[in-house]
Each structure stands twice: as C-alpha cells, then as structure tokens.
C-alpha cells in the first residue's frame, strides 16, 4: 500500500511542475529511511576521514604538539611557518616546477593530440604509446629518471652531447635540479593531457569543419579558428587539475631528493616540507599550520582558475 | 590556380609529415623504458653504467633479475600492494555505487545538501588530513597494518559523482515497474539497476585501482615496517638507499615493478583510456 501511494505521488511530480508543492508533505512520509542506509558507508567515511581531520588539523595548528604532549600557543605556529625561509623556499620550488610543467605540457600535449587526431595511420597505436608513461607509477618513473638524467652516464646528456648542446648537471646541481623534475613531470603528465584533449577534439562537431572546408579554409586555418577556440573548457579543466596536482607534488621529489629535497633543498616542495616537519621532526603543530596555509593556497588558486576559465569560455 | 589539383598530394605529404613527427617523439618518450630494459640485462651496469648508451648489452645476462627475485622483497611488496588495492577497490566501489544510486534515484530530505558535501570532498587534499588521520589510527593501534590504507578509500567523491551521472541516464520507469511488483528499495537496486551498471562499475574499478596502486604519501606515513611495504614504498626506499649506484639492479627492479602494469594496460588500454577520459570530461 505504501509503495502504491508513492507511485501515485511520483507521477504528478514528474509530469506537472505545479503538482509538486502540494504533494510534498505526503511524499515525505512515504519516502522510506532506506535511502539514508544507502549513504551510511560514504558518510561515515566523510565524517571520520574528511570532516574530523580537517577540524582536528585546524585545532592542532594552534597547539604545540609532538603527538603526546600538547599546549596552546595561539598563532605562534603560523608565525613560525610564515617567517621560515625553508617554507617560502618550498613554496617557490612548488610554484616554479608547477608553472613550467603546465606551461610546457598543455600546449605540447594539445599539439600532439591534434596530430594524433589527424594522422592518417596509426591513430590508436600512438594513443597507446603516448599514454604509456602516465600508467607507470611516478615513483618508478622517478627511479628511472635518476639515471636517465645522470650528468655523466645518462641518455639525456648523451643525446645533448651528440647534437652539440651543453650538458647540465641536472639533479647534482641546485641550479638545474628543478628542471630535472619539470622534465620528469612533463614526460609523465603529457599522456593525460593528450587523452583528455583527444576525447574533446572528437566531440567537436564535424559539420563545423565541413562548412569551413566549403569556404576554402586550409587544414591549419581550421585548426586555428575552429579547434583551438572550441577547446577552451578542456584547457581550463587541464589547468585546474594540473595546478592542483602541481601544488601537491611530493612523490617524485621525495624519491629524487629525499624529504629535504636535496641538493640544497632545491626541489623540496610544500608537501615535502610538511612531511619533513611532521614525520621526521614530529612537530605536529608546525606541520599542521603549514598544511593549512597550503590548503588555503590550493583553494585560492582553484577559485582563481575557475574564474579565469569561466571568462575564457 | 592549380591549387585544387595539388590538394590531395599536399594532404598526403602533410599526413606523412605528421606520422614521422609522432613517431620520432614517440621513440623519445619510450627511450627511458627501452633503456631501462636494456640496462637491466647488463651485468656490468652495476659497477658503472655502459657509456655511450647501447641498446643491446655487451654481456647479456639475467643476473640482475635473478637477484631481484631472490631477494624476495619485491614479491612481498607485490603481495602487499595486491591485498591493499583489491580491498580498497571493493570497498570504494561498493560504497560509491550505493551512494551514487541514492543520489540519482532517491527521494529524501537533504539530498542536494549532502551531494554538495560529497562534491566538497573533491577539493580537500590529503596533506591537511595527514597528521589527524595518523593520530586517529595510532590511537586505535592500527599503524603498521593495512587498515589505514583501506578504510579511508570508502569515501571517494569522484566515484560517487561518476556513478550518479550514470544512473541519471537510466530511466525511472524501471523502478516504477518494480515497485508495482512490490519490490523494496534494496531489491530494486540489486536486481534492477546494479546489473545494468556494468560499464560504470568497470570504469570505477579501473580508476580506484590506479589511485590505490600508486598511492604513496599516506602509506609512507603509516607503514614503517618494511615487511608491509607496498610496491611504491619499496621502490622509493631502494632508490633512496642506493642513489645512482647499482644501475643494473635498479633498472631490473624498475622493469619488474612496471611490466605487469604495462601488460595489464596493453590488454585493457581501450577501457583504461576511456575511463581516464570520462573522469576528465565529466570533471569539466
């Protein structure tokens, strides 16, 4: 009987907008609590592993703590972090690596996606090959790149030497080590950019190209005036996900330079700074303050990215 | 004015040009892998890497691979990773299927608000949660077990979102028909909608698998015991211990750790690429 009442209520709700309001009260009584049962696992997870940690972390940032003994210190942790040279160094490293990774990979990935999309032969073959670096874990990739970029015995410097270019010290030199990480990041991320671009390239309606061809537009003109403007949303998406990922960079710099980002802290990112203070020094309060500053930076940039990308579309 | 005549030729030339550019760049992208496999078979590479680099080792030998398997730690880490990943995928995908379905077909109070809360979790990174979660699992004495890696995967905003989108496309008439037959909500979900959810479940499994298999920072924090190390943790500790000495061994280890994933990828590439593209396109 209950079920039947619900069906009767659903039909007017679905068909006529006006029918919604008056029916609402009866719908409530007929909608069983079972729907909340469906949500129990996920919301237990949200409560325990999302909401609680976020507030606990905020609380900890006002305390001096090593995990067992705590006492309130007000804003001292924030003061310590914000006046700490290594923290700003880590912020600078994170931004430097992220900006160049994104500025290189998105245009390059888009060009390769366009080439793959229009190549007469081997479309799927190239798609699989170009995405391959992205399936390997970044930890394993970093392990290989320590050798690939070795100043004396690596293949990159060998190739540079063969074509007569100077051979940098890469990870052995603090002035070039960030470029080693950028190179690894580009190599690893480009497959993702290509796949996302390809999926959206194929979504552009062929009629537009048809019309342009009739008007006599060349292949390059079609690319410049139809393809590029239609990819605004895709670029925005890549910019946001890329930037959020870049701000959280940790795995590869940990493998290449340890928690302090050697040589000379030149590749220590914000994530590595937090790991170093929190889990090698067990300064939970200071690390929590740093994570909150990082969290705010991520939120602000996500917001700016969203605004910027909205304007573009 | 002879342009129309040469269009076909021009297209053929530009097609060949594109193909060559893609091929050259593709080889460059693959070079680290090719070199990795080659050095792994080179016994002399542990003293100093062969220079100039060569494709075929001077002395082809399975020595390095022998050591990697004899040592046993890689195999142990594979088993650990498998336990963690399979459990995480099962937990995360089941919880997300239930929640995604409820958010799509359910009628209950606070649905919109709760869904916004789920979407908000997408913006919360791991770092600010690291220390509280560490303390939480420490307080129940679960550090150095697999539980801290498995339990938090129960909530995954992206999976719930993808799942809701999928169920939104399935018609409501299916449930109405089942309701007339007197089926309850759970029966409708398990008998009517779940059997139709194969494609999205496959996508969710692939994504959850990739995330769990590659997870690094959180396992690094909670697993000190070497015997519990997952594959990425073992690779990182090996790499940090040995730096750029023992090139041959490192490359053999990297090959053995990457190869199964690459083989899996080559078999499932269509589905994996589709899943990644879907999470990207829908994420827009």
pLDDT, tens digit, 9 for 90 and up, residues B138-172: 999 999 999 999 999 999 999 999 999 999 999 99
Interface test with A, best of B138, B273, B281 (most A CBs within 10 A): B273
What confidence score (pLDDT) does residue A257 get?
94
What confidence score (pLDDT) does residue B282 get?
47
Q: Give residue A29's pLDDT band: very low, low, confident or very high (50, 70, 90).
A: very low
Q: Are residues B76 and B150 in the same domain?
A: yes
Within 8 A of A52 by CB-CB distance, chain B residues are 132, 136
Compute the average pLDDT of residues A161-178. Answer: 94
CA distances, A67 to each of A271, A288, B148, B196, B282 (Å): 19, 12, 18, 48, 41
What confidence score (pLDDT) does residue A172 get?
93
| B156 secondary structure, DSSP code | -
Interface test with B, best of A27, A28, A39 (most B CBs within 10 A): A39
Q: Which pair of structure tokens corresponds to residue A213?
A: 């061809």
Q: Give residue A311's pLDDT band: very low, low, confident or very high (50, 70, 90).
A: low
In chain A, CATH 1.10.3720.10 covers 81-312
**Are the beta carbons of B127 and A271 separated by less than 8 Å?**
yes
Interface test with B, best of A65, A134, A137 (most B CBs within 10 A): A137
Contact B234, B23 (CB under 8 A): no
Euclidean distance between CA atoms B279 and B161, whole angstroms? 9
Residue B269 forms part of a structural domain:
no
Q: Which of A128, A187, A237 sits opposite B284 (nearest CB)?
A: A237
Within 8 A of A146 by CB-CB distance, chain B residues are 239, 243-244
Compute the average pLDDT of residues A4-12. Answer: 44
Residue B47 forms part of a structural domain:
yes
Q: Which pair of structure tokens corresponds to residue A210?
A: 């048809």
Q: Which of B102, B136, B277 sits opposite A38 (nearest CB)?
A: B102
CA distances, A111 to each of A8, A106, A131, A195, B166 (Å): 55, 9, 15, 12, 31
Euclidean distance between CA atoms A268 and A263, whole angstroms? 9
Euclidean distance between CA atoms A130 and B163, whole angstroms? 28
Residue A27 reports pLDDT greater than 60 = no
Residue B259 forms part of a structural domain:
no
Euclidean distance between CA atoms A15 and A147, whole angstroms? 66
Compute the average pLDDT of residues A192-209. Answer: 91
| B60 secondary structure, DSSP code | B
The answer to which of A145-149, A307-311, B55-59, B80-84 has the lowest mean pLDDT is: A307-311
Closest chain A residue by Cα to residue B242: A143
Residue A112 reports pLDDT greater than 60 = yes
For chain B, the residue count is 284
Residue B279 forms part of a structural domain:
no
Contact A235, A312 (CB under 8 A): yes
Pure H helices in chain B: 3-40, 63-71, 73-105, 111-121, 127-139, 147-150, 157-169, 173-180, 185-187, 198-214, 217-222, 231-242, 247-283
pLDDT one-digit tens code per residue, B221-279: 999 999 999 999 999 999 999 888 888 999 999 999 998 888 989 998 888 888 888 87
Among B22, B42, B64, the domain-final residue is B64
Residue B102 reports pLDDT greater than 90 = yes
Q: Which of A137, A195, A253 is nearest to B259 (CA)?
A: A137
Residue A24 reports pLDDT greater than 60 = no
What CATH number is associated with residue B152?
A: 1.10.3720.10
Homologous superfamily in CATH for domain A81-312: MetI-like (1.10.3720.10)
Q: Are residues B90 and B227 in the same domain?
A: yes
Question: In chain A, pLDDT over 70 holds for what percent of residues?
Answer: 88
Euclidean distance between CA atoms B127 and B144, whole angstroms? 19
Q: Are residues B24 and B141 in the same domain?
A: no
Residue A302 reports pLDDT greater than 90 = no
Q: Are residues B10 and B36 in the same domain?
A: yes
Residue A59 reports pLDDT greater than 60 = yes
Q: Which of B26, B128, B284 sits opposite A291 (nearest CB)?
A: B128
What confidence score (pLDDT) does residue A31 get?
59
Q: Are residues B219 and B126 in the same domain?
A: yes
Within 8 A of B107 by CB-CB distance, chain A residues are 27, 31, 35
Contact A41, A249 (CB under 8 A): no
Q: Are residues B35 and B88 in the same domain?
A: no
Residue B250 forms part of a structural domain:
no
Residue B152 forms part of a structural domain:
yes
Cis before A129 (ω within 30): no
**Are the beta carbons of A118 and B18 separated by less than 8 Å?**
yes
Closest chain A residue by Cα to residue B254: A140
Long-range pairs of A219-224 with CB within 8 A, sequence gap ≥ 24: A219/A118, A219/B11, A219/B14, A223/A114
Q: Which pair of structure tokens corresponds to residue A302?
A: 């996500």
Compute the average pLDDT of residues A280-297. Answer: 94
Contact B232, B215 (CB under 8 A): yes
Q: Which of A115, A133, A284 sits opposite B29 (nearest CB)?
A: A133
Phi, psi for residue B60 in degrees, rounded to 5: -65, 125
The answer to which of A35-44, A210-219, B149-158 has the lowest mean pLDDT is: A210-219
Compute the average pLDDT of residues A25-39. Answer: 67
Q: Are residues B22 and B110 in the same domain?
A: no
Contact A66, B138 (CB under 8 A): no
Residue B214 reports pLDDT greater than 80 = yes
**Are the beta carbons of A147 and B244 separated by less than 8 Å?**
yes
Contact A201, A115 (CB under 8 A): no
What confidence score (pLDDT) does residue A245 get?
92
What confidence score (pLDDT) does residue B52 get?
77
> What ipTM, to 2 d.p.?
0.91
Residue B68 reports pLDDT greater than 60 = yes
Euclidean distance between CA atoms B155 and A41, whole angstroms? 8
**Are the beta carbons of A248 and B126 separated by less than 8 Å?**
yes
Euclidean distance between CA atoms A258 and A3, whole angstroms? 61
Residue A13 reports pLDDT greater than 70 = no
**Are the beta carbons of A6 and B179 separated by less than 8 Å?**
yes
CA distances, A131 to each of A128, A253, B85 (Å): 5, 22, 22
Q: Are residues B155 and B237 in the same domain?
A: yes
Q: Are residues B160 and B46 in the same domain?
A: no
Q: Are residues B220 and B113 in the same domain?
A: yes
Within 8 A of A119 by CB-CB distance, chain B residues are 15, 18-19, 22
Compute the average pLDDT of residues A163-189. Answer: 95
Euclidean distance between CA atoms A270 and A248, whole angstroms? 7
What confidence score (pLDDT) does residue B4 get?
53
What's the structural domain count of chain B?
2
Compute the average pLDDT of residues B202-211. Answer: 91
Tell me the average pLDDT of chain B: 90
Q: Are residues B124 and B161 in the same domain?
A: yes
Q: Which of B127, B217, B219 is nearest to A270 (CA)?
A: B127
What confidence score (pLDDT) does residue A313 get?
36
Q: Are residues B222 and B98 in the same domain?
A: yes
Q: How far is CA B86 from the centre of its chain?
A: 12
| A282 secondary structure, DSSP code | -
Quote the domain boundaries for residue B8. 3-64
Q: Are strands A70-72 and A63-65 parallel, antiparallel or unpaired?
A: antiparallel
Q: Give residue A19's pLDDT band: very low, low, confident or very high (50, 70, 90).
A: very low
**Are the beta carbons of A54 and B107 separated by less than 8 Å?**
no
Q: Which of A185, A202, A283 is nearest to A242 (CA)?
A: A185
Closest chain B residue by Cα to residue A271: B127
Q: Which of A54, A112, A271 sits opposite B124 (nearest CB)?
A: A54
Q: Give residue A130's pLDDT band: very low, low, confident or very high (50, 70, 90).
A: very high
Among B64, B87, B112, the domain-final residue is B64
Interface test with B, best of A60, A139, A289 (most B CBs within 10 A): A139
Closest chain A residue by Cα to residue B98: A38
Q: Which of A270, A258, A242 is nearest to A146 (CA)?
A: A258
The answer to which of A22-26, A90-94, A160-164, B184-188 has the lowest mean pLDDT is: A22-26
Closest chain A residue by Cα to residue B264: A135
């Amino acid at each position: 009987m209950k079920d039947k009442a619900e069906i009767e209520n659903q039909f007017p709700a679905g068909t006529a907008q006006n029918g919604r309001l008056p029916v609402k009260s009866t719908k409530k009584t007929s909608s069983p609590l079972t729907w909340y049962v469906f949500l129990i696992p996920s919301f237990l997870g949200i409560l325990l592993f999302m909401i609680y940690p976020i507030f606990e972390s905020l609380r900890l940032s006002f305390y001096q703590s090593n995990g067992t003994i705590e006492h309130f210190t007000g804003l001292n942790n924030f003061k310590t972090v914000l006046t700490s040279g290594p923290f700003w160094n880590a912020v600078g490293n994170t931004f430097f690596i992220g900006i160049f990774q994104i500025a290189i990979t998105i245009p390059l990935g888009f060009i390769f996606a366009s080439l793959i999309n229009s190549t007469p032969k081997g479309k799927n073959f190239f798609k699989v090959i170009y995405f391959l670096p992205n399936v390997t874990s970044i930890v394993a990739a970093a392990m290989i790149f320590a050798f690939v970029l070795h100043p004396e015995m690596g293949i990159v410097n060998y190739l540079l030497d063969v074509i007569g270019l100077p051979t940098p010290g890469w990870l052995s030199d603090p002035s070039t080590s960030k470029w080693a990480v950028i190179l690894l990041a580009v190599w690893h991320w480009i497959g993702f950019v290509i796949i996302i671009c390809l999926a959206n390239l194929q979504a552009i309606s062929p009629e537009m190209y048809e019309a342009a061809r009739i008007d006599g537009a060349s292949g390059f003109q079609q690319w410049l005036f139809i393809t590029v403007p239609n990819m605004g949303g895709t670029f925005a998406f890549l910019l946001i996900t890329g930037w959020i990922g870049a701000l959280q960079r940790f795995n590869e710099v940990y493998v290449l330079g340890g928690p302090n980002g050697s040589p000379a802290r030149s590749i220590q990112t914000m994530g590595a700074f937090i790991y170093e203070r929190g889990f090698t020094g067990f300064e939970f309060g200071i690390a929590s303050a740093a994570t909150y500053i990082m969290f705010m930076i991520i939120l602000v940039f996500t917001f700016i990215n969203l605004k910027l990308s909205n304007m573009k579309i | 004015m002879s342009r129309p005549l040469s269009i076909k030729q021009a297209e053929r030339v530009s097609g060949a040009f594109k193909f060559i550019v893609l091929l050259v760049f593709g080889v460059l992208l693959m070079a680290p892998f090719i070199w990795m496999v080659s050095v792994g078979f080179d016994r002399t590479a542990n003293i100093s890497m062969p220079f100039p680099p060569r494709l075929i080792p001077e002395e082809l030998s399975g020595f390095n691979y022998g050591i990697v398997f004899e040592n046993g730690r890689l195999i142990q880490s594979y088993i650990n990773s498998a336990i963690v990943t399979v459990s995480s995928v099962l937990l995360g995908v089941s919880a997300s299927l239930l929640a995604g379905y409820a958010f799509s077909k359910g009628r209950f109070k606070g649905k919109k608000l709760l869904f916004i809360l789920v979407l908000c979790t997408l913006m919360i990174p791991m770092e600010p949660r690291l220390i509280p979660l560490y303390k939480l699992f420490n307080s129940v004495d679960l550090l150095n077990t697999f539980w801290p890696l498995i339990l938090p995967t129960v909530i995954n905003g992206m999976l719930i979102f993808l799942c809701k989108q999928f169920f939104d496309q399935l018609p409501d008439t299916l449930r109405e028909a089942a309701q007339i037959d007197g089926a309850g909500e759970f029966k409708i979900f398990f008998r009517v909608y779940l059997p139709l959810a194969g494609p999205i479940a496959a996508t969710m499994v692939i994504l959850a698998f990739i995330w769990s298999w590659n997870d690094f920072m959180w396992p690094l924090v909670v697993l000190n015991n070497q015997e519990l190390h997952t594959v990425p943790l073992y690779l990182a500790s090996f790499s940090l211990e040995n730096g750029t000495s023992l090139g041959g061994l490192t490359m053999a280890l990297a090959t053995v750790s990457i190869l199964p994933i690459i083989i899996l990828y080559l078999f499932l590439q269509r589905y994996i690429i589709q899943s990644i593209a879907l999470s990207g396109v829908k994420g827009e």
